[in-house]
């Protein structure tokens, strides 16, 4: 529905020094949605965010906010706030004054500032820290202050550029959940940037997968995981076995020296394809009944499952299973038709 679109990018292009960094970016963000731009370093995530925030202008294309073209508006006139990757807090100000900063600039009355800052300290679980100097706090606490400092301005949209990148894994996981909860409680629209696929899968309503300045796929975490559009997305969004194959005809594909029934149609006959099989979808079976056979090259316990690398002659298969086969043993491998994903081969350079 058109009305539900809060932010739209239409045909956005951007070059730096003659090099294209964003190419034909089209996407929209609905009110209260948690949208994540996901892709490897250098794919244009930050540039996209900066164009929405008004820190950068597109060479062509439009940025719409609530249906209005805001391409010409400076950052402070946009109803968005940004939390940057390097969340420079003011070291000479205490926690309270860091959070209050934006309100003071706007000449908000003192009692209102006090009330709003208290509310923010509550929200980010830092009650009682108001008078502390920011240097005395941990990375996670400082990050919460950076988020409080942005949220106190009551933006309709919060742009977050890898805000948890500097935190260690455990804290990052905690903050992911906290941020998501906060977003839902406040009903704010989040546009989040990360190169961490797990983070994107846990937090987002919608994921935008980018590569080389282009959008490859937009969808829910589940749809992107289950139905990746090409081998790059499949690989980036989770672990995958990717094989070159040939579609013999509808519902029959050849790869790794064997023919596999599958459910895909419409690729033509004798057509080159990419075949993607998730490690958790490979079944370890008896050598005599496997569709292909191989030798276990390595076994790694990963906490919940074992990860085994199987050498099947001309291919290596990564297999995740809750029971393991010892190194050196011969095994059969099998995949049910539904778990074989056929994709058109990717062009290497776009
Ligand atoms: N101000 C700039 N001047 C020149 N090149 C830039 C500038 N900002 C970004 N780039 C280039 O644009 C590309 C995309 O960068 P960026 O949007 O920061 O990617 P990401 O955030 O996905 O890592 C990169 O190749 C980067 O080097
Ligand atoms: Mg970036």
133 and 223 in one domain? yes
Retrieve residue 165's tokens: 């990148």
> Last residue of a domain, which of 210, 231, 252?
231
Q: Which residues contact 242 (CB under 8 A, 6 or more apart)?
A: 231, 234, 235, 274, 275, 276
Q: Predicted confidence band at 348 (pLDDT cuts at 50, 70, 90)? A: low
Burial of 175 (0-12, 13-18, 19+ CB in 10 A): buried
Position in ligand 1 atom list of the atom nearest CA 47: 17
Tell me which residue range forms the domain holding 86: 2-231
Q: Is the CB of 38 under 6 A from ligand 1?
A: no
Give the pLDDT score at 18.
Answer: 95
Q: Is the pLDDT of residue 163 over 50?
A: yes
> Last residue of a domain, which of 231, 251, 274?
231
Q: Is the pLDDT of residue 350 over 50?
A: no
Give the pLDDT score at 46.
Answer: 96
Cα-to-centroid distance, 208 and ligand 2 (Å): 14
Q: Which residues contact 222 (CB under 8 A, 6 or more apart)?
A: none
- Report the percentage of the chain scoring pLDDT > 90: 74
Query: Please, are residues 134 and 95 in contact by the beta-carbon 8 Å criterion?
Result: yes
Give the separation between CA 159 and CA 191, rounded to whole angstroms: 5
> Last residue of a domain, which of 231, 251, 277?
231
Give the pLDDT score at 76.
Answer: 85
The 10 Å Cβ neighbour count of residue 301 is: 9
Q: Is the pLDDT of residue 1 over 50?
A: no
Q: How far is CA 21 from CA 44, 56, 102, 334, in A?
A: 6, 13, 32, 42
pTM of the model: 0.86
Position in ligand 1 atom list of the atom nearest CA 49: 17
245 and 227 in one domain? no
Is residue 9 one of the residues assigned to a domain?
yes
Q: Is the pLDDT of residue 56 over 50?
A: yes
Ligand 1 pocket test target in 44, 48, 50, 211 with most atoms within 8 Å of CB? 44
Please tell me the total count of domains within the chain.
2
Q: Please tell me the number of Cα atoms within 13 Å of 153 on its side-chain side.
A: 24
Is residue 176 one of the residues assigned to a domain?
yes
> Shortest CA distance to 43 belongs to which of 29, 25, 22?
22
75 and 8 in one domain? yes
Count the residues in the chain: 350
CATH (domain of 277): 2.40.50.140
249 and 217 in one domain? no
Is residue 179 one of the residues assigned to a domain?
yes
Give the pLDDT score at 347.
Answer: 67
Is residue 348 one of the residues assigned to a domain?
no
28 and 11 in one domain? yes
Nearest alpha carbon, ligand 1 atom 5: 16
Nearest alpha carbon, ligand 1 atom 8: 47
The overall average pLDDT reported for the chain is 92
Is residue 349 one of the residues assigned to a domain?
no
CATH (domain of 206): 3.40.50.300
Cα-to-centroid distance, 161 and ligand 2 (Å): 7
Give the pLDDT score at 260.
Answer: 98
Q: Is the CB of 40 under 6 A from ligand 1?
A: no
Is residue 331 one of the residues assigned to a domain?
yes
Q: Is the pLDDT of residue 125 over 90?
A: no
Give the separation between CA 322 and CA 312, rounded to whole angstroms: 21
Is residue 161 one of the residues assigned to a domain?
yes
Q: How far is CA 151 from CA 119, 273, 335, in A?
A: 10, 47, 48
Q: Where are the alpha helices (DSSP H) in 160-214?
A: 169-186, 197-203
Nearest alpha carbon, ligand 1 atom 25: 42
Is residue 101 one of the residues assigned to a domain?
yes
Burial of 178 (0-12, 13-18, 19+ CB in 10 A): middle
> Shortest CA distance to 126 belongs to which of 103, 102, 147?
147
Cα-to-centroid distance, 42 and ligand 2 (Å): 7
């Amino acid at each position: 529905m058109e009305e539900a679109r809060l932010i739209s990018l239409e045909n956005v292009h951007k070059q730096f020094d003659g090099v294209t960094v964003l190419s034909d970016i089209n996407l929209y963000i609905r009110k209260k949605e948690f949208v994540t731009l996901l892709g490897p370093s250098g794919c244009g995530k930050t540039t996209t965010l900066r164009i929405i925030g008004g820190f950068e202008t597109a060479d062509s294309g439009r940025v719409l906010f609530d249906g209005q073209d805001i391409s010409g508006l400076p950052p402070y006139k946009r109803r968005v706030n940004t939390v940057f990757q390097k969340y420079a807090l003011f070291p000479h100000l205490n926690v309270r004054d860091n959070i209050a900063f934006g309100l003071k600039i706007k000449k908000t009355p003192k009692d209102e500032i006090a009330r709003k800052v208290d509310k923010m300290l509550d929200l980010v679980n830092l009650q009682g820290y108001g008078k502390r100097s920011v240097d005395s706090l941990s990375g996670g606490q400082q990050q919460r202050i950076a988020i409080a400092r942005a949220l106190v301005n009551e933006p309709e949209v919060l742009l977050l550029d890898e805000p948890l990148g500097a935190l260690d894994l455990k804290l990052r996981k905690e903050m992911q959940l906290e941020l998501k909860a906060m977003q839902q409680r406040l009903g704010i629209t989040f546009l989040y940037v990360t190169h961490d696929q797990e983070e994107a899968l846990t937090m987002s309503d919608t994921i935008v997968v980018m590569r080389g300045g282009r959008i490859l796929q937009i969808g829910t975490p589940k749809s992107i995981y289950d139905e990746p559009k090409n081998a790059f997305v499949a690989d980036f969004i989770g672990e995958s076995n990717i094989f070159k194959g040939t579609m013999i005809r509808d519902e029959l594909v050849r790869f790794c020296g064997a023919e596999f029934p599958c459910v895909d149609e419409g690729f033509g006959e004798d057509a080159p394809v990419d075949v993607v099989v998730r490690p958790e979808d490979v079944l370890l079976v008896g050598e005599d009944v496997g569709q292909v056979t191989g030798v276990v090259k390595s076994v790694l316990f990963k906490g919940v499952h074992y990860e085994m690398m199987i050498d099947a002659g001309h291919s290596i298969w990564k297999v995740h299973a809750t029971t393991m086969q010892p190194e050196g043993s011969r095994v059969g491998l099998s995949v049910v038709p539904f778990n074989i994903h056929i994709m058109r081969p990717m062009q290497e350079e776009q």
